Every structure is written in structure tokens, then in C-alpha cells.
Structure 1
Amino acid sequence: MTTAPASSPAPSTAAAPLALVTGASSGIGRAFAERLAALGHDLIIVGRRRDRLDALAASLPDVAVQVIEADLSTIEGITTVADVAASRPVSLLVNNAGVAHYMPLTDLPAEKALELLNVKVVAPTLLTRAAVTGMIARGAGTIVNVAGMIAFSGPAEAPAPQGGRSVYTGTLAHTVALSQSLSAELAASGSGVTVHVVCPGVVATEFHTVQGMDLSALPRMSADDVVTATLAGIDLGEVVIAPGVEDYALLESVFTADVAAFHGQSPQLASRYAAVVAATTPAPLVE
């Protein structure tokens, strides 16, 4: 898809914070845009469907809205949005754009794998890089990456009912690790910029419908509740925000185990591997 020229920035309202939201034409992204506008943010909204973006902008007459039609599965689209993120005083970046492509790795066409990696890995990385420099210079800013609880499903013994999704799972795990590491990096430098990753479960949007999945029979969280949890999680100082997890200690135990495993390494070969070598190495011949 060819990226259409971005609309000219609408005049910003006096002293209004500026939020950039990707994937804003529907679902969680639209819910973010509507909520942030209600809170007084001017907006840059990004998506592939210009008609929906224009309709959203028209429904938010009390704030300045810049529309960018861009396909974040392409380097051209990513570059277009990154240039805007670097040149405007973005105080809140919401990396929400998504694409499912649930299928086993061996069935995933190469072009779809690249599209998935661009949307969920390359785009958030480069848009964050573009926006964060200005945030640091201004001494404040917030980055929100939208992932999902699937990020924690890697150790599952069997594929989900929807089928294989190893690449999709890997992209969300990347988002969680990137957000945690970048949060620590920016905190250590005293930048004033915070980073958060939102991990909802199944949400009532058209995300799965586009993939050809009917999940209407499953209990699903609303996109509005995801946004509510995100804003509350930011206030609570949570780096990983899990809207549907009641017992946050479950996540903390995962993070503690991750750090323990990282610090539990040594330069010596672990005894379980040495034991296998010893058991399979023939004894020397004795003359």
C-alpha cells in the first residue's frame, strides 16, 4: 500500500498535550483516541483506513487532530510516521497498531511474517526511537506499547484453540521485554520518560474477525476497559499493565523468576550438561 500524504497539523489548542496513536481507526486505538481527546489531548491518529480516520477526527471537534494514513507493515509507512513523531512535541505515544496472522510457522507465508514483524516489532521500535529524543529533551513523556497476555504463553504445551501462533507470540514477548528494558534504561538516566506495556486478553474488537475467527461466544473485555486499565496502571507506576489479571503477584513472580534466572548463570558448564557428557563419553582403554 502506498502511504498517503499526512494531513497538515491542525492548530494545536493552547498548552494541550499531544498524543500519537497508531492503529486508531478501530478497536483499542480508537478507544485511546476518544479517551485522550476527552482528557484534553490534541491527537495524531495513524491507520490504514483514511475514511475511518477522517470520521474519527470529525467526531472530536474540541481538540486538534492530525490524520496520517500510513501502512506500518511497510518501511515507507513507518518512516512517514517516525518523521512526524520526531518533529512534533509528542508527550504520549501509543504503539497500538496490530495484525494477527495466527497460523503455524510452516504455514505462515514469508510476506505475512514480514508484515507481522514490521507492524509489531519494527514500527514500535522506530516510532519510540523517534519520539523519545524529544521527550527526554523536554524532561517528560509517556510511551505505551500494546501487547497481550499471549506474550506469556510461550511455555504452553499445546497450541491455542485458534491454532499455531508462534511468530505472533514472539512479537508480543519482544514488546514486553523491550518495554521493561527501556523503562529501566530511561529511569536510570533520570529522563522523566516512562514506558509501559499493556497486556490484555481477548478484547471485543474486530481484530480476530479480520483473521476469520468467531470469538463472539467467549467472554471478552471492552476496548474502553483496556484504556481505563492503562491510564490507571500508569498512575500506579506499573510497567507491565495486565487489565484482566486480578492477582498482580502472579506477574511479579514471573518477573522475579526472570531476573533470578539471569543472575543464576555462571561461566562454568552446568552440571546437568556435564553429567550427560560424562555418561556418553567412552572410558579410556587400559592397556
Structure 2
Amino acid sequence: MSNSLALVTGATSGIGLAFAERLAADGHDLIVVGRAEERLDAFAAAHPDVAVRVLAADLSTPAGIDAVADAIADAPLDLLVNNAGVAHYMPLAELPAAKAREVVNVKVLAPTLLTRAALGGMLRRGRGTVVTIAGMLAFSGPAGPEVMPRRAVYAGSLAHLVTMTQALAAELAGTGVTAHVVCPGVVATNFHAVQGMDLGAVPRMSAEDLVTGALAGIALGETVIAPGVEERRLLDEVFAAELAAFAGQRPALAARYRA
């Protein structure tokens, strides 16, 4: 994939920076997206062996999303990494409307519209890869009230990314374009620190290992990539159960709902 062009959102720190570093080392030209332009400029200056375009944009805003989507539409993009994130962990009733909007914009609207913008060119060229970073919290919906902190909107946004990517992968079958979603557990970045959460004593995967796992999962052809899950069958059983429930629906009212 050397000499190809990749775009990474949230590229100023954590997982996004680790992706950008790995892709630059592998010879990709890059478009790096983030809010902090000075950090993006520093990354570009540190990687003179590849072409790096800096795009400062706030993906929590419609204007920021549109700016990046326009850049994608005009670029011969081979790889899109939807990584930008925001950490607002709190129960829905306590979540300010502005923060709820920010989560949905960054983790639902931005990946949806940026992927849409990338697909046109990828499909015309018959090649391309879309990678979206979600998280294992996507599978945490059935957890009881003993599991804290509560984060309905955040967990729901990650579940959206998993289902959207699975459905998109089916839409893209046979086109040469692939879609993948990466579901890490707790990663050693500053993501939780901004929420005032000290996870220093919690075992965490490094961002670099996460990127290694993501790239390996793409090579293996996995649509849902869970770098920290040793037994792949656990995920396969979840997806099989979902399809069984989907196929088990009938037009008649189920017996348990009949008075």
C-alpha cells in the first residue's frame, strides 16, 4: 500500500496519532485531521519523507464535517481512518444537550458522512479501505446497573458504528472496496483522563499494538476487528445470535405478548 493516500481523523494524539505514525512509516502520503493545527503541523514537519497535508477541522460541527468531506471528495483516497473521538461519560439524563450533540456528531454523523464522501472515488477506482474506530462498549448494552459509569449515548454511538460497518461491508462485496470497524477495550491514551478518570492501575493496550491488530485484522479480512479478544468465536457467536433473532421474526404476535 506504499505511495497510497490515507486520511486519519483525530490524528493529533492517541490512536489517531499512532495510526498516522504507522502509515507514514509504511510510506503512505497522509491527510491528517484534528482540532489542534499546531500539532498537525508538528507531525508534518517530523515526517518529511512522505507528503502530509494538514487539515484543521472540528468534527463536532457541521462545518468541520463538511470541510473534511469536501477534501475527501477531491482526493484519490485509498484509506480512510475514522478515528476522531470525544469522551462524555455520563447518564443520558445528566448529559447536557451540547455534549450529546457533540458525541453524535463526532461518533455517528462524521464517520457516516466522511465514509460516504470517500466511497464514490474508491468505487470508481475499484479499490479502497474504510476503517472506523469504535470500541468494545458497543457490546455493553445488556450490562446491568452495576456496570459503571453509565454512558448510553456513547455506547450507543459505538454500536451504530459496528452495525453500519457490517451492513456496509455487505453492500461493498465484490467492489474491491472494504469496510472494517475496530473495537478496542481500554487503550493507554489520554482519552479517559479528560473525563477525570484515573485508569493508571488498569491493564491497557498500547495504541501501537491496537494499530498492529487493526492492520492485521484488515489483512485477515475481518469486518469487526477486536484486537483484545483472544477467542474469535465469542464475536462470531454474538453475530450468529443476532442473525438468528432477525430471522426468527414472524408476522404473528409472539405468545408472550398475548393477553
TM interval, short-chain normalised: over 0.9
Per the alignment, in what secondary structure is the counterpart of residue 201 of structure 2?
Answer: coil
The separation in 2 between residues aligned to 1:90 and 1:263, in whole angstroms, is 37
> Which of these residues, 211, 224, 233, is aligned with residue 240 of structure 1?
224
Pair member with larger Rg: 1
The separation in 2 between residues aligned to 1:176 and 1:182, in whole angstroms, is 10
Matched, 1:18 2:5: yes
Q: Where does residue 170 of structure 2 map in the other structure?
A: 184
The separation in 1 between residues aligned to 2:176 and 2:250, in whole angstroms, is 35
The separation in 1 between residues aligned to 2:6 and 2:83, in whole angstroms, is 12
The separation in 2 between residues aligned to 1:222 and 1:207, in whole angstroms, is 12
Per the alignment, in what secondary structure is the counterpart of residue 145 of structure 1?
Answer: strand
The separation in 2 between residues aligned to 1:52 and 1:160, in whole angstroms, is 36
How high is the TM-score relative to the length of structure 1?
Answer: 0.89
Q: What is the one-letter code of the residue matched to 1:226? A: L
Residue segments in structure 1 that go unaligned for 5+ positions in a row: 1-14, 278-287
The separation in 2 between residues aligned to 1:268 and 1:85, in whole angstroms, is 47
The separation in 2 between residues aligned to 1:74 and 1:26, in whole angstroms, is 20
Tell me how far 1:158 sits from its aligned partner.
2.2
In the alignment of these two chains, the number of paired residues is 258
Q: Where does residue 110 of structure 2 map in the other structure?
A: 123
> Which of these residues, 20, 31, 34, is aligned with residue 18 of structure 2?
31
Q: Where does residue 109 of structure 1 map in the other structure?
A: 96
Per the alignment, in what secondary structure is the counterpart of residue 244 of structure 1?
Answer: coil
Matched, 1:225 2:209: yes
User: Percent sequence identity over matched residues?
Assistant: 67
The separation in 2 between residues aligned to 1:247 and 1:136, in whole angstroms, is 33
Tell me how far 1:83 sits from its aligned partner.
0.2
Q: What is the one-letter code of the residue matched to 1:79? A: D
The separation in 2 between residues aligned to 1:23 and 1:182, in whole angstroms, is 22
Q: What is the one-letter code of the residue matched to 2:223? A: V
Deviation track 1:205-234 (CA, whole Å, cap 9, x = no partner) reads 011111111111100000000100010000
Q: Where do 1:1-287 residues align within 5 Å?
A: 16-158=3-145, 160-161=147-148, 163-187=149-173, 190-274=174-258, 277=259
Tell me how far 1:160 sits from its aligned partner.
3.3
Structure 1 segments of 4+ aligned residues over 3 angstroms from their partners? none
How high is the TM-score relative to the length of structure 2?
Answer: 0.98
The separation in 2 between residues aligned to 1:164 and 1:155, in whole angstroms, is 12
Tell me how far 1:164 sits from its aligned partner.
1.2
The separation in 2 between residues aligned to 1:140 and 1:222, in whole angstroms, is 30
Residue segments in structure 2 that go unaligned for 5+ positions in a row: none
